[in-house]
Amino acid sequence: MRTTRVVRRFAVTTGAALLALTGAAGSAAADDETPEKVTEAGTSFRTATALRIDQEATAEASTGDYLYWAFPVDAGQRATVHATVKLPEAAARHAASTWQVDVYDGLRRRQACRLGTPTKTAAQDAASVSLSCSLRTVRSWSEQWANDPLPGTYYLRLTVTDLKADDLGLPVRAEAKVTATDAGGAQAVDGSLGEPLVPGAGSDERRAAAVEPEDGWSGGWWSSRWLWTAAGGVLAALAGVGGYALTRGSGRPARVPQGM
């Protein structure tokens, strides 16, 4: 009976510890504050405007301009870019227009969209057009020959790709936002980069180079791997205690009568 009580007490204690661990991670994520809105966009990779995850951005531009924002994505994250273009009055336009978002990594390699609508045609009388692109999970390490997304600065580029010449220069209003989710420990790989892929520190790249996660590159201590590791340790300990209780037996050895 005493062994049973020990096993039960051990299970309750470790279960409470696991609940506290997951609760701490959840509260840390809930404490994050939404950053203020950005009201401009760059016109090239070098002048891309810094944008944090979940931060809203707007920009007044002319039809035909290239608009750039730079944002950080760390290992284990799945990022999705969202863009909406408020089009000019229908009476001022002469034909439909096709808009597109492209995403590039820190090496300026174009990244494929896993999901979303990166290209869309807006009718002449449409008031707006919305685009999106969900990237693959960012890996902490990759072979040099691979095109896997790696931690670092990413670039969102928004522009029109098909437009009648008479509509060039008409005013538009662009809105952009980047969201990200944690893919979890199941997507983690061994190995890591020496440094994230970010722009150089030259004077013409300081705006984009300033983009990094709130807690630094790979600075977050929490990962679902911690939970699974802790759970595995608890189960192993419980199995060991239970096995010991079963093999030990519940009774004391019989006393041998004296004189035999």
Of 9-23, 118-132, 214-228, the range with the highest mean pLDDT is 118-132
Q: Residue 231's Cα: distance from chain center in Å?
A: 25
Is 45 part of any domain? Answer: yes
Name the least confident of 106-120, 146-160, 218-232. 218-232
Confidence of residue 237 (pLDDT cuts 50, 70, 90): confident
Verify that 201 and 239 share a domain, yes or no.
Answer: no
The pTM (predicted TM-score) of the whole model is 0.70
Residue given tokens 């820190």 in the structure block = 106
Residue 97 in this model has a pLDDT that exceeds 90: yes
Average pLDDT, the chain: 79
Verify that 209 and 229 share a domain, yes or no.
Answer: no
- Say which residues have a Cβ less than 8 Å from residue 87's Cβ, sequence separation at least 6: 93, 97, 122, 126, 127, 128, 129, 172
Is 28 part of any domain? Answer: no
> What confidence score (pLDDT) does residue 172 get?
97
Q: Output Rg (C-alpha) for the chain, integer angstroms.
A: 28
Domain encompassing residue 234: 2-21+225-246
Verify that 218 and 229 share a domain, yes or no.
Answer: no
Verify that 114 and 240 share a domain, yes or no.
Answer: no
Is 163 part of any domain? Answer: yes
- Mean pLDDT over 155-164 rounds to 97
How many domains does one find in the chain? 2
Verify that 217 and 230 share a domain, yes or no.
Answer: no
Verify that 215 and 232 share a domain, yes or no.
Answer: no
